Structure 1
Amino acid sequence: MTTGTDLPQLPFDRPEVLGIGPDFARLRGHRPVTRVLTPAGDPAWLVTGYAEARQLFSDDRLGRSHPHPEQAARISASGFMGGPTGNFSTEQADHARLRRLLAPAFSAKRMRRLEADVQALADGLIDDMIAAGADGTPVDLQEHLSAPLPIFVICTLLGVPYADRAHFRGLSERAATLTGDDPLAALIELMNYTADLAEAKRRVPGEDVISDLVAAQAEDATFDNHQLAQLVAGLLFAGHETTLHRISVGVLLLLENAAARHAVAADPASASRVVDEVLRLAAPGDFGLARYARADITVGEGPDAVTIAAGDAVILATLAANRDPDAFVDAEMFDATRSPNPHLTFGHGSHFCIGASLARTELRIALGTLFTRLPDLRLAVGPDRLRLHTDRLTGGLHDLWVTW
């Protein structure tokens, strides 16, 4: 359904790792819901305003499915959010069921019980990192802390062998690539892997999310093996990729903000505010969350109102909405004391990310422990040497070389 127009096309140019590029602010100031072309070249609505994004997050007429998937606008070639997914007629019921199944595993109470394990893991990883850089040799913080911490935690929660981390991480990265034919093949391979994990749990269940999902199939005949494999693949991908990149970009933000660095290391109460500000400003990726309108939706009022037609693709650019000056004072500034901080990084309403408590726990412990143990941490390369993956859905740094 590709169309040639003079509409702006995603992804936009991004001169700085910690900035999101001027095009987002320009579009937000001119028209916060506007037509663009996706990376695949198809038309979509880009939502850059905070009020508009918050409204749409809460609107049940926006979803991941499409009544005619073969006619839907493509976002990219990515296996994740490349186009519509799910059954249009049952999407809302499916979503409600899956949230009920997953809520106990990702509850704030369970995250509090997990804190000691995450803290012990962070301490061990930083011990190893300190040893690796003891003679002043720069180390890649991403491979020593940002990646292994969330990977280990999501493996523990789901019941995935940590020894398989290189395998599923490679598949996740390939499936998240925005172009080419490989992403779909990688997603299929990842789903075959998670289907095998589910079969193993049927034979020998454990105390983990995959075992819980397998048990739930006995209660619901409509929850088939394909849905289970797809769900676990999505959880495995989102559970490590997004947190990994926000730890790394969070480190960069704190290296530029001494007050926040001291607060996250010295005061647990302040650490929570710092983490939410990291979540607001850290933007490892370049566009946002892809959805499709299930019915006509009018956004805004009066002459500036925009009607999104049923079937249209919508990209909720939370990276731009989180920097909207109409919603946040000094929106481009990192404020370690910002409270309240109603950012949209985890969405809003019924689609608020079920893993929010887990991500906050991991970020707070990773950043707090790192700057407590290594208060003199600094980049080992110039900021101009930092590179983002512009070819992946989740973006993220190639590496993060540091010393102290």
Structure 2
Amino acid sequence: MTSPAKDFARYLRTETTGGLILLAATALALLWANSPWGDLYRTFRDTELGPHFLHLNLTLGDWAQDGLLALFFFVAGLELKRELVVGELSKFKQAVLPVLAALGGMIVPAALAVTIAWGHPDMGQAWAIPVATDIAFALGVLALTASNLPSSARVFLLSLAVVDDLGAIIVIAVLFTARFDLVAAGIAVAALALYAYLQHKRVRTAWLYVPLALITWVAVHSSGIHATIAGVALGLLTRVRPDEGEAEAPAIRLEHRLQPWSAAVAVPVFALFSAGIKVNGASLGEVFTTALPLAVMIGLVVGKFVGILGASMLAVRLKIAEKPRDVGWRDLAALALLGGVGFTVSLLIADLALPAETAELAKTAVLIASGVASLGAAAVLLRRNRAHAQDIP
């Protein structure tokens, strides 16, 4: 008989639950920021906490962005490592299609955004905003609307989103390292090397790993590299193959333990601090008439769809890859629409890439585009779900 705590953790691990909590946090942020208590929200978000030592005097919003999202990226790193070593991305034939689809889903939105907002002074980094797909939201919509779709559809979307997040992580590391402290970077590398060594030696005690993870995070943050990269690096260094007699590999065990915290705490709290945008008639009008937010919206809704589906069709036509088993082109078109749900990483990049006022417009564009993409994909997925239930191709 399982305990209530374990049952609750299992409930939190489902994509539907994670997506609903994230949606609730976003709605709360928007309502609070646009209520008579909006100034309290902004004061709370901008309250500084932490010592000046090692640049840890961060606002609560920055702690959510740099600290809590490191947990989200650690879980993403564990998923990526598992997929690369023992999952779908470990088999060349099965890995090619989602990898190429993800690349198409990053290149086309970025190119479209640059074309639409050509000459805008902030496009030097803002082109990266529409390249990301939100794993939690996308899988949540899929779980809610497409229970009859083949499991290979979920695997394709998960693999695509994981590769997409890897691309976003590389973009964050390259574009948003404004300063670089060689000593702090050296400490981070040494801490990561020790983590890898302990994994290799099969050391299992959390009394070593938790302080080591904290040291790594502080060192990466102090080096000038975005602190979420620490989470990804630690995830990629975690062992994913179980030893003989071992019930689960450390990566699987950690993913099961930490994914509920990521889904129920880390990502929703980040959304609570990041999605609190002032929305009124004037700001909405500006979103639809200003080049940069328009570029973000069209990049996510149109660019993602064209990039993912176009790259998939080209790869299959050239016989570089094969479609997932029992998944038709209409199913892939629905999944490509779902790729336009940018949300978490898109909001993060908007905050990193733009000054405050422009970031507000870009984040409004991300929320609108993610809503349009999720509703459009849900409508198509519901039709495909009924078709699969009746065995209609």
Identify whether the pair has TM-score above 0.5, normalized to the shorter chain.
no
Answer 1 or 2: which has greater helix percent: 2
Per the normalisation by structure 2, the TM-score is: 0.26
Answer 1 or 2: which has greater strand percent: 1
Per the normalisation by structure 1, the TM-score is: 0.25
